């Protein structure tokens, strides 16, 4: 069965520090992968996506993610975190066959001044 694991429920970083949020997936073939961000009271906003090609993808708000097939991972990174990045982050896997999407349980990011 397909699954998405975000091992870190909650992460706290200082403003200006670097950030890495982990995501692992379980799927037989190469899925297409997404990171979304959810601010309080809002829906999910797409940060970036990967489906093929360069394994390092750039997204909005200075985020990037790297697809590592050997590790079944798609970790999200940002070199310098801003206070406005505090939010919930969700990794998602899309399956081309069946038009299905699976979401991780999210990582809550707190940014301290």
Partner 1 sequence: GEEVAQTPKHLVRGEGQKAKLYCAPIKGHSYVFWYQQVLKNEFKFLISFQNENVFDETGMPKERFSAKCLPNSPCSLEIQATKLEDSAVYFCASRSTGSYSPLHFGNGTRLTVT
Which residues form the interface with partner 1 (CB under 8 A)?
A: 9, 32, 34, 36, 41-46, 49, 51, 88, 90, 92, 94, 96, 98-101, 103, 105-106, 108
Q: Is 31 exposed, middle or buried (0-12, 13-18, 19+ CB in 10 A)?
A: buried
CB of 60 to partner 1, least distance (A): 12
Contacts of 94 (CB under 8 A, 6+ apart): 31, 32, 33, 34, 100, 101
Closer by beta carbon to partner 1, 49 or else 77: 49
Closer by beta carbon to partner 1, 14 or else 97: 97
CB of 1 to partner 1, least distance (A): 13
CB of 94 to partner 1, least distance (A): 7
Return the beta strands (E) in 1-113 as ranges. Answer: 3-5, 10-14, 19-21, 24-26, 32-38, 44-50, 56-58, 64-68, 73-78, 87-95, 100-103, 107-112
Closer by beta carbon to partner 1, 30 or else 73: 30
CB of 42 to partner 1, least distance (A): 6
Closer by beta carbon to partner 1, 7 or else 79: 7
3-state secondary structure at position 77: strand
């Amino acid at each position: 069965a397909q699954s998405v694991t975000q091992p870190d429920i909650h992460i706290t970083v200082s403003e200006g520090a670097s950030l890495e949020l982990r995501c692992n997936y379980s799927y037989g073939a190469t899925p297409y992968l997404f990171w979304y961000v959810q601010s309080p009271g809002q829906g999910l906003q797409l940060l970036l996506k990967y489906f093929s090609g360069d394994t390092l993808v750039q997204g909005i708000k200075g985020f990037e993610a790297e697809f590592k097939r050997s590790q079944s991972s798609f970790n999200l990174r940002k070199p310098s975190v801003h206070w406005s990045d505090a939010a919930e982050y969700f990794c998602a896997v899309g399956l081309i066959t069946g038009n299905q999407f699976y979401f991780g349980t999210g990582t809550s990011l707190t940014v301290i001044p």
